[in-house]
Chains A and B, each alone.
Chain A
Amino acid sequence: MSGLSELDQITRAASGDRAAQAALVNRNMPIVFRVAYRMLQDRAEAEDVTQETFLRAWKALPDWQPKAKFSTWACTVALNLCRDRLRKKKPVLMDELPERVDTALRPEEYLSSQQTLKGIEANIAALPERQREALSLCALEGMTNIEAAAAMDVSVRALESLLARARRTLKARMIGVLAGEKQ
């Protein structure tokens, strides 16, 4: 099944070929789940989003247009589902504060705050939503800038800006750990 192009695999999966469906799931499901988990920080919710994403995929496959890679399409759907869930959780905050304050420019203030450095996962989870999306797709899942921008429905320049801010924030928050890494 690995010798097939993605389009062949999708065509076969749409017609009910179980091997093609399994290959599609095995290749893309972990990425979708991890992206959803980083956004929602909840295993059950991430699994729900992953399942819903593939339910939509099964419906979309018969009319599939190879405009984007399946993983890009799936991450777009998953991110939208995650945003919906996050919006429902924080309806007031989302309207008033679409992004958390970027603390990258004031690392000393941030380090002296009550937040403790729990590790890279916790610090990624604490990033503003869009920065987390960008970092998750590019730095952690290895998408190209074009794929990630498409998945997030932003321009390549906007993605680049989000990534730079995310990395600056992480660098500032984990300055002590990073000093140890460099030694």
Chain B
Amino acid sequence: MTREKMTVERALELIEAFGAEPGGWPDDERDAVSALIEAEPDTFAKALSEARALDQLLLSEASPEPSAELAATILANAPVAAPTRNSIFDGLSSVLFPRGVRWPAGAAFASLMMGLVGGYAYASGGVGYDQADAVYYAAFGVDSDETWLSLE
């Protein structure tokens, strides 16, 4: 609202509703009221004085503050973050390595796993079977599989 449109009646209404402090007045009317009061201080002296006294009284109002336990209770009910890939890895590593990941131990573990996997693949893939078969055949003149089949 502009200075020209602000009236004494409206300014008095605002003081009565919002008090004597310009910070409490509506944003869109604050400048106009301030300008009018500055231009006509005597008109508003009584209203401002009374409003200021009540403002002081309101400032002395002392509502109790909430307890610290209340904040803790509220936060205990707050949403929890969804687990991320990192947190899943962290959880797994804490199970596998409860004292933390140590690289020498990790390397030994990795070597062991590689040996096991490699050995299993070698055995189940049939690598070396032909050589053993050939030796058996050379020694006994029969195929080992046939022998087993005939025994059954």
Binding site for B on A (CB under 8 A): 13-18, 21-22, 25-26, 29-30, 33-34, 37-38, 43, 46-47, 50-51, 54-55, 58, 61-62, 120-121, 124, 135, 138-140, 142, 144-146, 156, 160-161, 163-164, 167-168, 170-171, 174, 177-178, 181-182
Contacts and interface: CB of A to CB of B under 8 A. Distances in A.
B13 A16 contact: no
Interface stretch (B31-39, B50-58, B104-112, B120-128): B50-58
Interface of B: 13-14, 16-19, 24, 26-27, 49-51, 53-58, 60-67, 70-71, 73-75, 77-82
Contacts of B79: 13-16, 21, 58, 61-62
B74 A29 contact: yes
22 contacts: A16-B80, A21-B75, A34-B63, A34-B64, A47-B70, A50-B70, A55-B74, A62-B79, A121-B61, A139-B24, A140-B58, A146-B26, A161-B17, A163-B17, A164-B17, A167-B19, A168-B16, A170-B58, A171-B54, A174-B57, A178-B54, A182-B49
Nearest to A121: B61
A22 B19 contact: no
B18 to A, nearest CB: 7
Classify the secondary structure of A's interface with B: helix
Contact of B74 (A51, A174, A177, A182): A51
Nearest to A166: B17
Contacts of A14: 79
A29 B70 contact: yes
Contacts of A181: 53, 56-57
Contacts of A182: 49-50, 53
Given A22-B75, A170-B57, 7 more contacts: A21-B75, A30-B65, A37-B64, A58-B78, A61-B79, A120-B58, A167-B19
A164 B57 contact: no
B32 to A, nearest CB: 15
Nearest to B63: A34
A150 to B, nearest CB: 14
